[in-house]
Amino acid sequence: MPATAALETIDENYKFLVMEVIQQLKDTRRVLVDRDGTKMTAVFSRDDYVDNLKSVIENKCYGVLGAQDLQKSLINRLRAVIIATSNLERIADFAVNIVGQLKYLQDPKTLAGFDPEPFFDLVDEALQRAIPAIVDVNMHEALDLCRSELRIDECYAQVFDRIMSSLRDGEAPEDLVTSLFIFRYFERMGDALLNVGEAAIFAGAGEKIKISQFQALADSLEDVDIDIMDVEYEGIWETRSGGRVGKVHARTDDPDTARWTIFKEGRADKVLEEKQRLERWEALVPGLPPRVFSYQERGQNASLLMEYLEGETLQQLILAGDHSRLTDGLALMMHTVDTIWDGTLERTPTRPKFVQQLEKRLAKVVKVHPEFERPATAIGDVRYPGLLEAARECRFLDAELVAPCRVLIHGDFNTDNIIINPEQRQVHYIDLHRSKTFDYAQDISVFIVSNFRMPVSDGIIRERLDAASLRFFEFGEAFAARHDDATFPARAAAGIARSMLTSTRFELSPNFARAMLLRGRFILSKLQQHHAAGHPWEAFELPTGLLRH
């Protein structure tokens, strides 16, 4: 059977399922009102039919998904149906559970006193939206379906407070607890309805996105006169803090003419911080960061709608293998960095405190790699301290390594945060939320370690990564020489050690993580030996071999 024809039968089964769940809710309501034995039997018997419908729908969906060459939109629709079906079956189960609780209820007036009718109304109203939301992929219905969960939660919170108050007064505790269990099942129905709504949003947007994030996107698009129903959304990644980054554009018949924007949603303090930094960079170097089109705050979260910058990341240029484009791109990037650093340079002594930065992150490193937290060992007179102890022994570096000046740095200068458009001779920065006025040795060290960490074993590509690291380090040396910064090599070494060691928390390969650990510790030992010998930091030299993989 063709996929489209199969989808029609699946949709028909799904509609029957929704109608059965709606009827299940109606019968449950009737049972709670008059204890109708016939309706009680209907609730229990219908549960088997709902389970069978769920199995039929899932089997048909997986049968179609097993076919080849399906359009992504169809795959998303089928996945949404599977999620919605499972949650509708849960709602029917909760109705059975509510009826099952009645045998523990001695006085029906206790439950009636808390009035379950609004819960039935809210769930029924939401279920009416379950067909257009999933079958028609109607985003407005999906949003309303998701919002029903909040309304049910609000009702539950009110009933919960009243029941707790009655329990404190000592009134019929058995019936009160049973009533609380019954209302708890209504609250869980709300959770299931939210899952159905978010499944519908997934079918329409093509990405799993929470209702709060989807609402934030809709609000952001309103500021630029775009309806959420008329957009294509493509998720890029989720941040470690739970935020989301995605690309969005208005629907068009010609994909080549689509104009993308970047949508970012997350904790309000982090998003506002990024907005402020983007505006600072835009004022300093117009066109360098993405432009901000919209900023929205919703409770503890906020969202940004930003310009999508054309070009390739420096990482892509390195991996692509075009030597000429990479050479031009690196030169363009370093010219931009030089201009920014020269234009923002302040003759203010600055301690980067790389060891302090390291120590703050060591707990997370050890959590991922507990084997790193080994006690000190010794062979003869040679003592090898554990990682935490080794960091403590290097605290003197924070006091002694001082940059004679500071500049505006990116703060997270990975190669995938640098966008280059060689044809238009443009460089852009993204992810500027960590930017600040600081020691430029930090950007250089992060750049070098980001290349080292690339999971690439191809010898030619590794040579390009190493060459890019060496060029940027030499650029840093030249900048330092122009500005009488004689301790730059020592600070860069400390920064590389810091980044090398802390980056192991993102590396799950034991062998590679250990290689990074040993590299970082070796650099720290070089700094310790230099200090122990009484040499001035101006005389420290970082062997360039340590910049290579």
Structural domain boundaries in the chain: 3-206, 216-307, 312-547
State the helix-helix crossing angle for 139-168 and 117-128, rounded to 10 degrees.
170
> Nearest CA to 439 among 335, 530, 351, 548?
351
| Structure-block tokens of residue 27 | 């019968």
CATH of 3-206, one of 2.30.30.140, 3.90.550.10, 3.40.50.720, 1.20.58.220: 1.20.58.220
Query: What is residue 425's DSSP assignment?
Result: T
Contact assessment for residue 475 and residue 337, using Cβ atoms and an 8 Å cutoff = yes
> What local confidence, expressed as pLDDT, does residue 34 receive?
82
Instruction: Report which secondary-structure segment, H or E, holds 487.
Output: none
pTM, two decimals, is 0.70
At a CB cut-off of 8 Å and minimum separation 6, what does 329 contact? 312, 314, 317, 420, 422
Query: What is residue 252's DSSP assignment?
Result: -
> What local confidence, expressed as pLDDT, does residue 256 receive?
56
Distance CA 447, CA 135 (A): 48
CATH of 312-547, one of 3.20.20.105, 3.40.50.20, 3.40.50.2300, 3.90.1200.10: 3.90.1200.10
State the helix-helix crossing angle for 173-205 and 117-128, rounded to 10 degrees.
20
Domain spanning 216-307, CATH class = alpha beta
* 44, 346, 410, 439, 497 from 349: Cα distances, Å: 76, 9, 19, 9, 22
Distance CA 178, CA 173 (A): 9
Phi, then psi, of 436 in degrees rounded to 5: -170, 170
Q: What is the pLDDT along the chain (549 residues), one digit of tens a residue?
A: 567 788 889 999 999 999 999 999 999 999 998 877 777 888 888 888 999 999 999 999 998 888 767 888 888 899 999 999 999 999 999 999 999 999 998 888 999 999 999 999 999 999 999 999 999 988 889 889 999 999 999 999 999 999 999 999 887 889 999 999 999 999 999 999 999 999 998 888 776 766 666 666 766 676 666 665 565 666 555 454 445 677 776 655 555 555 678 888 888 888 888 899 999 999 998 999 998 888 888 778 888 888 888 889 999 998 887 888 899 999 999 999 999 999 999 999 999 999 999 999 999 999 999 988 887 777 777 777 888 999 999 999 999 999 999 999 999 999 999 999 888 889 999 889 889 999 999 999 999 999 999 888 888 899 999 999 999 999 999 999 999 999 999 999 999 999 999 999 999 899 999 999 999 999 999 999 999 999 999 999 998 888 888
**Per-position DSSP letters for 162-211, written without gaps between them:** HHHHHHHTT--HHHHHHHHHHHHHHHHHHHHHHHHHHHHHHHHHSS---H
Phi, then psi, of 327 in degrees rounded to 5: -60, -45
> What local confidence, expressed as pLDDT, does residue 216 receive?
67
Contact assessment for residue 41 and residue 27, using Cβ atoms and an 8 Å cutoff = no
